[in-house]
């Protein structure tokens, strides 16, 4: 340490830190400056963040004074275009049309236009003068172009001293190059005019019009159902999946969210910027259901009905075709939860009675934990009969679990054309349930018709 102070003294440097900077009482952290007068005021603060103290230096810095410069400008945007046009018509320019057209003296034409138009410009947009600092000038300029990205980039480039270097084609004669430019654009305009004439459908139409045939637009929205068995430890993977697939809806079961502030951290990692989430956590461990949807889609009438044998979240999707979307998770009965199949059948029948009476065409998705792939399964048959009694149909026909069973279901009305394609695949390796992806056909009011995709080999 003595050698360090000797070196500092020889170099005309000084360390103003004299107090201990460590909890052990030693001065370990230094702030060095030239030997000047007055010395910077230094204090050591124990912030309890580390065994070292924080070193706070008071430094006197003289900020440059802002100088204002006179600026002159015309408020061109405030010109009344109708009055300006009228004054041009009343000016001497129209009266001198013959002189302008037949006179070959270019300078005479320039002087004539400059005299007349300069006078009109002075009349309609007088020169203003005021003093502004550079900060005021750029603040106003940035605020004025805040909604125009192109002009904003130009402002920032000018502020940073970046100037555009005009680039021209390689040439030896400037006049010949200008003539080539003129010829190019003249030929381009002639080609456009010729193409417009060739595409005319009706001879009675003026040559400047082109007949446009209205087209019917078919649209569809994709919806993905996934039993994720906790999104807490795989939020980034699901976020990547959403970003890659860009579906309108992602319905999740077994989210394992807790309803605490920790859910905000998970949501931040889970959702791409243009997506939002509505979810219903379970009070105890496990369970939970959620909707993830594009922010451009509005959900209303969100309901959180309480049933003891299953969890449900339903909402009205406000699109051209109103949709009542429901996501359901039914935990399998066990000694721990004391749930029974009979209890679920009774409560789910009450739920269906309510849903079919609400506005919006029902689309029910979720993990029901019935083996619908087994024809001899009594519980699965009873559940299928319950759906049939309410005029509902289940669309999933393949396995949705790694053990080969059909647990995750997609349910609509029997006569509904809502589901026009269903596809089940095993792209996600972070849950034991496969992903069921289905698409909804949408019908705009009088402007389009539903699109039905022919079934492919991988469709069910």
Structure confidence at residue 383 (pLDDT)? 94
Spell out the alpha helix ranges (H) of 45-199. 81-90, 97-102, 106-124, 134-144, 149-159, 174-198
Query: What is the rounded CA–CA span in Å between residue 19 and residue 52?
Result: 12
- For residue 349, the surrounding DSSP H or E stretch is helix 341-355
Do 256 and 314 have their domain in common? yes
Do 18 and 89 have their domain in common? no
pLDDT digits (tens, 9 = 90+) for 248-288: 888 999 999 988 888 888 888 999 988 999 999 887 778 89
Q: Percent of the chain scored above 90 by pLDDT?
A: 18
Query: Any idea what DSSP says for residue 75?
Result: -
Q: What is the DSSP code string of 351-420?
A: HHHHHTTSSSEEEEEEE----TT-TT-HHHHHHHHHHHHTTEEE---S--BTTS---EEEEEETT---EE
Do 312 and 432 have their domain in common? yes
* Cβ(109)–Cβ(100) below 8 Å: yes
pLDDT digits (tens, 9 = 90+) for 340-354: 999 999 999 999 998
Beta strands 392-394; 361-367: pairing state: unpaired
pLDDT band at 74 (very low <50, low <70, confident <90, very high): confident
Do 355 and 411 have their domain in common? yes
Name the residue with higher pLDDT: 104 or 242.
242
For residue 210, being part of any structural domain is answered with no
For residue 142, being part of any structural domain is answered with no
Do 228 and 314 have their domain in common? yes
pLDDT digits (tens, 9 = 90+) for 277-327: 999 988 777 889 999 999 888 888 788 778 999 999 998 887 667 889 999
**Given 120, 136, 152, which residue is the final one in a domain?**
136
What is the count of structural domains for the chain?
Answer: 3
Structure confidence at residue 6 (pLDDT)? 76
Instruction: State mean pLDDT over 323-333.
Output: 92
What is the domain range of residue 119?
75-136
Residue 245 scores a pLDDT above 70:
yes
Structure confidence at residue 344 (pLDDT)? 94
pLDDT digits (tens, 9 = 90+) for 407-449: 999 999 988 877 755 555 554 545 544 445 544 433 333 222 2
Do 242 and 365 have their domain in common? yes
For residue 286, being part of any structural domain is answered with yes
How high does pLDDT run on average in the chain? Answer: 77
For residue 453, being part of any structural domain is answered with no
Per residue in 373-404, is it b (16+ CB within 10 Å) or e — as a string?
Answer: beeeeebbeebbebbeebebebbbeebbbeee
Do 383 and 416 have their domain in common? yes
CATH number for the domain including 422? 3.60.10.10
Structure confidence at residue 420 (pLDDT)? 57
For residue 155, being part of any structural domain is answered with no
Name the residue with higher pLDDT: 122 or 301.
122
Do 264 and 346 have their domain in common? yes
- Please report, to the nearest 10 degrees, the dihedral formed by the alpha carbons of residues 276, 279, 284, 287 taken in order: -100
Query: What is the rounded CA–CA span in Å between residue 314 and residue 278?
Result: 10
pLDDT digits (tens, 9 = 90+) for 87-117: 888 887 776 665 666 666 777 777 777 888 8
**Given 90, 120, 136, which residue is the final one in a domain?**
136
Name the residue with higher pLDDT: 344 or 134.
344
For residue 402, being part of any structural domain is answered with yes
For residue 87, being part of any structural domain is answered with yes
Query: What is the rounded CA–CA span in Å between residue 255 and residue 288?
Result: 5
Do 100 and 41 have their domain in common? no
Do 350 and 413 have their domain in common? yes
For residue 39, being part of any structural domain is answered with yes
Do 8 and 87 have their domain in common? no
Beta strands 311-318; 323-329: pairing state: antiparallel
**Given 136, 156, 173, which residue is the final one in a domain?**
136
Query: What is the rounded CA–CA span in Å between residue 391 and residue 385?
Result: 10
* CA distance to 155, 160, 161, per residue, from 67 (Å): 21, 19, 19
Do 81 and 7 have their domain in common? no
């Amino acid at each position: 340490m003595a050698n360090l102070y000797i070196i500092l003294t020889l170099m005309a440097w000084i360390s103003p830190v004299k107090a201990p900077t460590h909890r052990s009482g030693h001065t370990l952290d230094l702030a060095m400056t030239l030997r000047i007068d007055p010395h910077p005021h230094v204090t050591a603060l124990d912030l309890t963040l580390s065994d070292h103290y924080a070193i706070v230096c008071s430094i006197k810095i003289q900020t440059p004074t802002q100088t204002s410069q006179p600026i002159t400008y015309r408020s061109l945007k405030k010109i009344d275009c109708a009055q300006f046009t009228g004054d041009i018509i009343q000016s001497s320019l129209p009266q001198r049309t013959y002189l302008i057209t037949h006179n070959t003296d270019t300078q005479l034409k320039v002087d004539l236009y400059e005299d007349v138009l300069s006078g009109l410009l002075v009349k309609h947009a007088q020169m203003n003068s005021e003093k502004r600092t550079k900060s005021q000038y750029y603040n106003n300029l940035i605020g004025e172009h805040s909604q125009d990205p192109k002009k904003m980039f130009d402002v920032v480039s000018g502020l940073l001293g970046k100037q555009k270097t005009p680039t021209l084609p390689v040439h030896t004669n400037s006049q010949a190059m200008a003539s080539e430019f003129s010829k190019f654009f003249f030929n381009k305009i002639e080609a456009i005019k010729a193409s417009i004439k060739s595409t005319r459908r009706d001879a009675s139409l003026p040559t400047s019009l082109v007949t446009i045939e209205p087209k019917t637009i078919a649209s569809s929205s994709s919806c993905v159902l996934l039993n994720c068995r906790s999104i807490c430890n795989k939020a980034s993977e699901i976020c990547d999946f959403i970003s890659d697939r860009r579906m309108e809806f992602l319905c999740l079961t077994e989210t394992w969210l807790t309803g605490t502030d920790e859910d905000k951290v998970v949501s931040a990692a889970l959702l791409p910027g243009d997506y939002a989430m509505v979810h219903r956590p379970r009070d105890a461990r496990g369970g939970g259901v959620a909707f993830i949807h594009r922010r451009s889609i509005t959900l209303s009438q969100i309901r959180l009905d309480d049933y003891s044998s299953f969890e449900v979240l339903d909402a009205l999707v406000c699109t051209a075709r109103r949709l009542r979307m429901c996501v359901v998770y039914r935990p399998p009965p066990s000694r721990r939860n004391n749930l029974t199949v009979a209890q679920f059948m009774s409560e789910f029948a009450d739920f269906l009675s309510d849903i079919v009476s609400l506005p919006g065409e029902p689309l029910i998705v979720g993990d029901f934990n019935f083996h619908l792939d087994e024809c001899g399964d009594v519980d699965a048959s009873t559940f299928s009969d319950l759906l049939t009694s309410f005029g509902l149909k289940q669309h999933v026909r393949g396995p949705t679990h790694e053990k080969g069973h059909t647990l995750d279901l997609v349910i609509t009305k029997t006569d509904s054309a809502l589901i026009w394609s269903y596809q089940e695949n095993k792209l996600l390796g972070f849950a034991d349930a496969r992903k069921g992806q289905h698409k909804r056909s949408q019908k705009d009011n009088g402007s389009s018709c539903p699109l039905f995709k022919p079934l492919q080999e991988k469709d069910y």
